[in-house]
Structure 1
Amino acid sequence: MSDTIAVITGASRGIGAALARGLLDPGVKLITLARRDDAELAAAAKAAGAELEQIKVDLSDLAGADTAARHVAALLAPGAKRYLLVNNAGTVHPVAAAAALTDGPAIAQAFNLNVTAVMLLTAHFVQAVAGFDAVRRVMNISSGAGRNPTAGWGTYCATKAALDMYTRVLNQEQGAGGVRAVSMAPGIVDTDMQGTIRASDPGHFPALSKFQDFKASGALAQPADVAGRLIAYLGRDDFGATEIDDIRNYK
């Protein structure tokens, strides 16, 4: 029986990939959701003595997200000491001024991935682990964008603000004895998303030069470092004491 069963979305790159590798230990069953399988992760899991289940899915497709969520729930067998869900997958698109956000399908796709898929996965996770005598935790990877407005990021800011509020509602419903959730901002991290941000049209994203400077000045944190701090936080006794948080508060 696994000591820890951990579920990570967006596990094929960036913070998600680093989290997946950081959690590979004997006694861990790791379930990853991503658009592609990761052969290197599979090899690393075998070498570490960890169990790995990779689910290939596009979480912006709600039918696929629902099927994946039900698959995950079926894998959450009783008997482990810890059950962890890290909702990490997300997108910054579409980037445009609020007056130019007229592509309904693109906006809907962002909400599907950043919010609706999180709600589906979390609902099935909570149902599956209800009543388990174990640590049960959900970490939603949010952003400072959900707490501070940024021109050109109307969709991204709105989805992350929604994620923060959803986390608060979940905690209110679950109470002290239920699943505990945190909406955690990871800071500014050197991921593919940052590369996408730096490639934005300055006409749609006025803060472009600031983000270019983050990269040029070496201000971006490395995914492995951030993942290490997130994993450490997942193990803290005071997990969730602050439900809307920033990992930079924990050195």
Structure 2
Amino acid sequence: MSQTIAILTGASRGLGATLARGLLAPGTHLVTLARRPDDDLAALASARGVKLEQMAVDLADADAAAQVAERIFAALPRDATRYLLINNAGTVNPVANAAALTDPAAIGAAFTLNVTAVMLLTARFLAATQGLGAKRQIVNISSGAGRNPTAGWAVYCATKAALDMYTRVVNAEHREHGVQAVSLAPGVVDTGMQETIRSSSVESFPALARFQDLKASGKLSSPEAVAQRILALIERDDFGQTEIDDIRHYA
């Protein structure tokens, strides 16, 4: 019997990879979703005696996301004391002025990864854990971009705003049944996403200089520090009381 069953998306890079390592604790059964398996994570899980399942999937593919969600939760053990879903996978692309957003495939892939996959996994999570006496927690990794408009990020801002509202609806429907859902902004973290942002053109992303300066001046948060704060927040007694939250409030 595992005390905690944790499902984590976007686990092979950046913040997700660091969260995965932090979740490899005794009594945890960790299921990760990423485009490719992480051999180092598997070795670490083995060394720590933690059960790890790695699902290789592209969550920007809606059909693949639906299939993996069904497969994970159909086989979910029902004897854990806590069930935790962390929807971390996401993309900032496409970065462009709203007038230049003409590629429906790029827009659709971003919405699928940032929003649709979250909905599909959460739906299966809610159904599979319904009626259990266990703690049920959902963390949706959002962004300040969903709460403040940024030129060049029409798609990213829109998807993160959608994620915030979706989290509020989940709470409106399921909080009375013991579900705790939080849409959490992680701050500006030194990950591959930041590299993508800094490689944008100033024409597509007018705030480019500010993000280049954040890197140059060492003002980006490390994935390790942010992951540690997120995992600590999940353990707090008041987790879930603030449904639209920012991890910088807990620094």
State whether TM-score is above 0.5.
yes
Correspondence for 1:150? 150
Cα drift, residue 207 of structure 1: 0.2
Q: Deviations over 1:84-104 (max 9, x none)?
A: 000000000000011111111
Q: Which amino acid aligns with 2:89?
A: A
Q: Are residues 1:52 and 2:52 paired?
A: yes
Alpha-carbon distance in structure 2 between the residues aligned to 1:182 and 1:51: 26
Alpha-carbon distance in structure 2 between the residues aligned to 1:178 and 1:38: 33
Alpha-carbon distance in structure 2 between the residues aligned to 1:175 and 1:220: 34
Q: Deviations over 1:68-96 (max 9, x none)?
A: 10122023211111100000000000000
Coordinate RMSD, CA, aligned: 0.7
Alpha-carbon distance in structure 2 between the residues aligned to 1:216 and 1:75: 46
Identical aligned residues as a percent: 65
Aligned to 2:176, the other structure's residue is in SS state coil
Correspondence for 2:186? 186
Correspondence for 1:43? 43
**What are the residue-to-residue correspondences of 1:124-135 with 2, within 5 Å?**
124-135=124-135
Q: Deviations over 1:13-60 (max 9, x none)?
A: 111000000011121100000000000000000111110000000000
Q: Which amino acid aligns with 1:81?
A: T
Q: Deviations over 1:132-162 (max 9, x none)?
A: 1111000000000000000000000000000
**What are the residue-to-residue correspondences of 1:36-115 with 2, within 5 Å?**
36-115=36-115
Alpha-carbon distance in structure 1 between the residues aligned to 2:228 and 2:75: 25
Cα drift, residue 176 of structure 1: 2.6
Q: Which amino acid aligns with 2:181?
A: A
Cα drift, residue 175 of structure 1: 2.7
List structure 1 runs of 4+ shifted beyond 4 angstroms: none
Q: Which amino acid aligns with 2:83?
A: Y
Aligned to 1:32, the other structure's residue is in SS state strand
Correspondence for 1:211? 211
**What are the residue-to-residue correspondences of 1:15-30 with 2, within 5 Å?**
15-30=15-30
Structure 2 residues without counterparts, runs of 5 or longer: none
Q: Which amino acid aligns with 1:238?
A: D
TM-score (structure 2 length as normaliser): 0.99
Correspondence for 1:118? 118
Structure 1 residues without counterparts, runs of 5 or longer: none
Larger mean Cα displacement after TM superposition, 95-104 or 155-164: 95-104
Aligned to 1:176, the other structure's residue is in SS state helix
Alpha-carbon distance in structure 2 between the residues aligned to 1:76 and 1:238: 27
Alpha-carbon distance in structure 1 between the residues aligned to 2:179 and 2:62: 24
Alpha-carbon distance in structure 1 between the residues aligned to 2:148 and 2:56: 33
Cα drift, residue 179 of structure 1: 1.5
TM-score (structure 1 length as normaliser): 0.99
Correspondence for 2:137? 137
Q: Answer whether contact 1:72 1:125 (CA < 8 A) is retained.
A: no
Q: Which amino acid aligns with 1:158?
A: A
Aligned to 1:63, the other structure's residue is in SS state helix
Q: Which amino acid aligns with 1:13?
A: R
Q: Answer whether contact 2:9 2:34 (CA < 8 A) is retained.
A: yes
Cα drift, residue 237 of structure 1: 1.0
Q: Which amino acid aligns with 2:209?
A: S
